[in-house]
A and B are shown apart, each in its own frame.
Chain A
Amino acid sequence: MDNADANPVMHDAHDSVYDGLLVNDAHWAFGTDFEDPLAGVDTTIPDGMDPHELATYCLMLGDDALVLSQRLSEWCSRAPDLEEDIALTNIALDLLGQARLLLARAAAADPHVVPSLPDGSAVPAEDALAFFRSAQEFRNVRLVEAPNGDFAETIARLLVFSTYRLAIFERLSESSDVVLAAVAAKGVKELTYHRDFAGRWFVTLAQGTAESRRRLEAGLAEVWPMRAELFETHPVEARVGIDPAKVADDVEVILEQVFAVSGLARPDVAPMAGVRARKGRDGMHTEAMSRLVAELQVVAREHPMGTW
């Protein structure tokens, strides 16, 4: 029996979580719609900027965000308490949003950076970049790919990373590429919360119990060797983006404030070497990266023709 006429009440699209399942796949849950996050945005490349280099730079910043987002997501349902669980996954979501915009910007600047997929595949460019590149095609710094360790180590990494990224984004908001400038200006607001969160927890753990301080010192010692790489200039960064060597002093000033309040000394550890001078920005990663990428990509790679 067709009971459509028997029920003249019009239901709002959000009345029931199941309504969306029946009428519109895009509604079954928020965030499953993978349409272009740069829809309608002018993606013209500024005069004098090399499209491939711009794309490569966007991959560097986008991959930093994507990979740390993946790591932070591993805390979901495992954090020390509910508030921190929500905080870490909120931060992961912000970074995922930044990654989407940057990967989409990379694809728009130079479509050649996007892996090719079978004819008829509906996978959009930003997803092809996230799910169909091999580990050595990722341009993230090695700091973000290292395993989480415990909560203290995660906080130590987040402090170093968000301080570095905020310093880069503050300057990048003046980029001649209007898309990068807009992504950075928006990111600054988000990263401010991330850095404050990490800084406050860093102080709390340093001044908490003997055990929390011991764990923070141990975590920091794991993170610290990967810090120097952040400020080593890759030629692409110097040409189309922000030269990270130029933010090193500003980052140092912020970290010094946190160390001073924490009463903690900088770890005396050597920087992690590259392989024949190649590091994360050149696609040379640690073993942890291949496992992370495998987990990140397994479902998408099983279904290259899938629509989500």
Chain B
Amino acid sequence: MQTTMRSLLDKAREVAATVTDPELPMLTLEDLGLLREVAVLDDSRVEVTITPTYSGCPAMATMRDDLVARLHESGFADVSVKISLHPAWTTDWISDTGKEVLARHGISPPGPAPYRSTRTVLSLLPTRRVVRCPQCGSDDVALTSEFGSTACKAMYRCRACLEPFDHIKEI
């Protein structure tokens, strides 16, 4: 019995780990650090816990549907997805593999998330980051906007190769 549960759990985890982000389909939810927990309960029900990246992230519903669909396809009949709000998602949870995959797909991966004291410091100058152009590798880049095509991205332009690119901003 124990081993059956264990292998079920391994299988459920394996399947859940293959589900990708609808906005960044080269990345799995696991690489993004959104997949917090996969549990198999006594009645063989699978319970997956995910955490939102941004409060308004519209891809959450799709991620949940995809998790349920993928687990159904793999023979898990009863699947539920829980939302975990605490602790809040941080870009530090994106795995090293995830960061490599992002860069390979032309998206600049986030650096370390900023240290937060209890009171946030106002910053009236453009955010200083060490960012390299994912196309040509140059660090001669300029911030175009702190807000991009999705909530999690800022827009940059490379001064060397002149290509625009996205950067996953640190939170």
Contact = CB atoms under 8 A, between A and B. Distances in A.
Contacts of A193: 146-147, 169
B127 interface: yes
Interface stretch (A83-91, A129-137, A145-153): A83-91
A199 to B, nearest CB: 5
B65 A27 contact: yes
B55 A183 contact: yes
A100 B57 CA distance: 11
Contact of B126 (A84, A195, A200, A258): A200
Contact of B124 (A13, A38, A86, A261): A261
Interface in A239-254: 250, 254
B5 interface: no
Interface stretch (A29-37, A106-114, A219-227, A272-280): A29-37
- Of B23, B52, B88, B148, which is in contact with the most chain A CB atoms at under 10 Å from its CB? B88
Interface size class of A (residues with CB under 8 A): 35 or more
Contact of B147 (A87, A199, A250): A87
A124 interface: no
Contacts of A291: none
Residue of A98, A170, A186, A197 most packed against chain B (CB within 10 A): A186
A14 interface: yes
Contact of A41 (B69, B85, B155): B85
B83 to A, nearest CB: 5
Contacts of B49: 40
A182 B147 contact: no
Nearest to B117: A170
Given A40-B49, A40-B83, A94-B56, A170 B126 contact: no
Interface residues of B, number: 48
Nearest to A187: B55
Interface in B132-155: 144-149, 151, 155
Nearest to B116: A188
A103 to B, nearest CB: 12
A101 interface: yes
A193 B123 CA distance: 9
B55 A100 contact: yes
A35 B61 CA distance: 8
Contacts of B89: 186
B82 A100 contact: no
Interface string A7-47: 00000011000000000101100111101011111000000
B118 A182 contact: no
Contacts of B59: 30
A38 B52 CA distance: 11
Nearest to A24: B65
Contact of A197 (B52, B64, B80, B146): B146
A31 to B, nearest CB: 3
B127 A97 contact: no
Contact of B86 (A24, A40, A91, A181): A181
A257 interface: yes
A179 interface: yes
A292 interface: no
Contact of A83 (B23, B52, B65, B147): B147
Nearest to A12: B25
**Which has the most chain B C-beta neighbours within 10 Å: A30, A33, A91?**
A30
Nearest to B49: A40
A178 interface: yes
Given A83-B145, A84-B145, A178-B86, 8 more contacts: A37-B83, A97-B56, A98-B55, A179-B85, A182-B86, A186-B89, A187-B55, A196-B123
Interface of A: 13-14, 24, 26-27, 30-33, 35, 37-41, 83-84, 86-87, 90-91, 93-98, 100-101, 166, 170, 178-179, 181-183, 185-193, 195-197, 199-200, 203, 250, 254, 257-258, 261
Interface of B: 22-23, 25, 49, 52, 54-62, 64-66, 69, 80-89, 116, 118-120, 122-127, 144-149, 151, 155, 169, 171
